[in-house]
């Protein structure tokens, strides 16, 4: 009897220790991140200069209000305030968020979801500040001005010029646009007006129809004819080739359809998210540490590079994209809640493997280096010839989000 009690105590102790170890990981990384963001806030106090990446000398490069990446820095502070409950961080989150207020009337590109929902959206979720809610709803109205019922889409960019400069397309839609839909669902939820979510659903349905290949991978840009809604061409702006799988594009597709499933419970979105997950989790070109190269097909001779800069990467070692890895980790943690137990296990393990890689010195910067960004080794856009193997503020955002999701799951004993 004594032996059985002793053995049971040992097993319970071991289980408790394992649980503690797992919590230790997310907690530890978020504690480190908190210290690093404090350094970032100390070194740059001007909230009109929003940290984005580094220049060629490794110095901080900032962007202004209307850049698509403007909301991530405030989002990072909100996540770390949520984690730490540090009042000073709350003040900073409020200050960097307030600087974005004019965005609610911005209509010149589709990225308001990133810009407003990562900043004001997190701010509202955490503080329930009513002013934030009104700003988000106004931003949703602005985003809806880009919706067109003939194409069934929100227009991403005002134009897209082919890389050979021969054709200018008037209605480009990028897979990234799925990330802007949550803002619209939120607006419908808080106003009771289905107008916003109907637009989001129409956009998601059109994307589902036109953006995917049979293997589950997503095209980057689909060009529509605004006169009759027909698809004119499928291209890449940031991937290796028109027919290749740009890694961050796959990450946006995975995240966008997982979150749109959460918001609609439409099984078709879940099926697509699982298809994308399987595509990238089983891809033969995925490195062992699960941080993808910038494009799953980069350098593959079967693919024709889309631009002269992409062609420079037809041989040689391909840069990794830590931003894609972070988005995939965060999305898989969410998706794992909606799938079968076997898929759940493998998705959570995959997300954890990514986070362990990103938290290693290979990707996580030492404090006071990397212009105070957390992660190294992301890629902005190789075809545009910029931001190659650099830190990116949105890589940090999705890394923090994934850690927060992991922490929450640990607390709910889901891991």
CA gap 133, 123 in Å, rounded: 9
CB of 176 to ligand GLY, least distance (A): 4
68 vs 219, which CB is nearer to ligand GLY? 68
CB 41 within 8 A of CB 35: no
Query: Minimum Å distance from CB 238 to ligand GLY?
Result: 6
- Pick out residues in 40-59 that bind ligand GLY (CB under 6 A): none
Using CA atoms, how far apart are residues 130 and 127, in angstroms rounded to an integer?
9
Q: Is 377 in the site for ligand GLY (CB under 6 A)?
A: no
184: Cα separation from own chain's centroid: 17
Shortest Cβ 76–ligand GLY spacing (Å): 17
- Residue ranges of alpha helices (H) inside 44-151 are 72-84, 87-98, 112, 122-127, 130-144
**Residue at shortest CB range from ligand GLY:** 176
Rg, the chain, Cα only: 21
Q: Which is nearer to ligand GLY, 270 or 280 (CB)?
A: 280
Q: Could you tell me the CA-to-CA distances from 142 to 74, 116, 188, 385 in Å, in that order?
A: 21, 11, 14, 31
At residue 259, φ and ψ (nearest 5 deg) are -70, -35
Using DSSP's 3-state secondary structure scheme, residue 208 falls into: helix
Per-residue x/- marks for ligand GLY, 136-175, CB under 6 A? ----------------------------------------
Name the residue nearer to ligand GLY (CB basis): 248 or 352.
Answer: 248
- What are the tokens at 232? 């004119």
From the CB of 128, what's the least distance to ligand GLY, in Å?
29
The sheet that has 231-235: what strands, in order across it? 172-174, 221-224, 231-235
**Closer by beta carbon to ligand GLY, 94 or else 111:** 111
Nearer to ligand GLY, 30 or 103 (CB): 103
Residue pair 381/44 in contact (Cβ under 8 Å)? The answer is: no
In whole angstroms, the minimum distance from the beta carbon of 248 to ligand GLY comes to: 5
Handedness of CA 96, 98, 104, 108 (dihedral sign): negative
User: Residue 60: beta bridge partners?
Assistant: 54
Residue 248 within binding range of ligand GLY, rule CB under 6 A: yes
Exactly one of 82, 94, 148, 176 binds ligand GLY (CB under 6 A); that residue is: 176
180 vs 318, beta carbon nearer ligand GLY = 180
| Closer of 246 and 415 to ligand GLY (Cβ) | 246
**What is d(CA 179, CA 349) in angstroms, rounded to the nearest whole number?**
24
- Between helix 322-335 and helix 247-264 the angle, nearest 10°, is 20
DSSP H stretches of helix in 128-222: 130-144, 181-191, 195-210
Catalytic residues: 111, 176
The C-alpha atoms of residue 330 and residue 409 are separated, in whole angstroms, by 12
d(CA 290, CA 353) in angstroms, rounded, equals 7
- Residue 321 in the binding site for ligand GLY (CB under 6 A): no
The token pair that represents 117 in the structure block = 């929902």
Cβ atoms of residues 339 and 333 within 8 Å: no
Q: For ligand GLY, give the closer residue by CB, 336 or 381.
A: 381
Q: Which residues contact 141 (CB under 8 A, 6 or more apart)?
A: 187
Q: Rule CB under 6 A: which of 61-80 touch ligand GLY?
A: 68
- Total residues in contact with ligand GLY, by rule CB under 6 A: 4
Q: Among 70, 119, 188, 238, which residue sits at the site for ligand GLY (rule: CB under 6 A)?
A: 238
Interface with ligand GLY (CB under 6 A): 68, 176, 238, 248
């Amino acid at each position: 009897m004594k032996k059985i009690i002793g053995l049971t105590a040992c097993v319970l102790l071991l289980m408790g220790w394992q649980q503690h170890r797992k919590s230790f990981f997310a907690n530890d990384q978020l504690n480190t991140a908190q210290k690093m963001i404090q350094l970032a806030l100390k070194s740059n106090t001007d909230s009109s200069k929003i940290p984005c990446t580094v220049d060629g000398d490794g110095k901080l490069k900032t962007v202004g209000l209307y850049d698509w990446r403007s909301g991530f820095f405030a989002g990072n502070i909100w996540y770390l305030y949520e984690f730490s409950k540090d009042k000073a961080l709350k003040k900073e989150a409020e200050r960097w968020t307030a600087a974005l207020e004019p965005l609610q009337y911005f209509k010149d590109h589709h990225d308001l979801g990133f810009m407003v929902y990562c900043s004001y959206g997190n701010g509202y979720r955490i503080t329930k500040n009513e002013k934030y809610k009104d700003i988000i709803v106004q931003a949703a109205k602005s985003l809806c001005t880009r919706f067109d019922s003939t194409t069934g889409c929100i227009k991403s960019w005002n134009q897209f010029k082919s890389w050979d400069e021969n054709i200018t397309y008037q209605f480009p839609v990028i897979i990234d646009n799925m990330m802007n839909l949550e803002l619209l669902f939120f607006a419908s939820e808080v106003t009771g007006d289905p107008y916003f979510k109907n637009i989001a659903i129409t956009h998601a349905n059109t994307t589902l129809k036109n953006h995917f290949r049979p293997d589950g991978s997503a095209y980057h840009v689909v060009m529509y004819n605004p006169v009759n809604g027909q698809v004119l061409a499928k291209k890449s702006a940031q991937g290796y080739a028109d027919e290749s799988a740009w890694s961050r594009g796959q990450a946006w597709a995975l995240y966008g359809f997982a979150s749109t499933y959460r918001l609609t419970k439409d099984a078709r979105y879940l099926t697509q998210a699982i298809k994308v997950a399987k595509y990238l989790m089983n891809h033969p070109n995925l490195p062992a540490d699960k941080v993808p190269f910038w494009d799953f097909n980069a350098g593959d001779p079967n693919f024709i590079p889309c631009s002269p800069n992409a062609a420079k990467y037809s041989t040689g070692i391909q840069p990794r994209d830590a931003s894609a890895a972070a988005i995939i980790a965060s999305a898989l943690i969410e998706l794992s809640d909606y799938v079968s137990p076997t898929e759940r296990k493998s998705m959570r393990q995959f997300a954890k493997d990514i986070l362990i890689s990103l938290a290693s010195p290979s990707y996580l910067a030492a404090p006071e280096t990397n212009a105070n960004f957390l992660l190294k080794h992301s890629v902005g856009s190789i075809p545009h010839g910029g931001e190659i193997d650099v830190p990116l503020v949105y890589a940090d955002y999705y890394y923090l989000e994934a850690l927060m999701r992991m922490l929450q799951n640990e607390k709910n004993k889901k891991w």
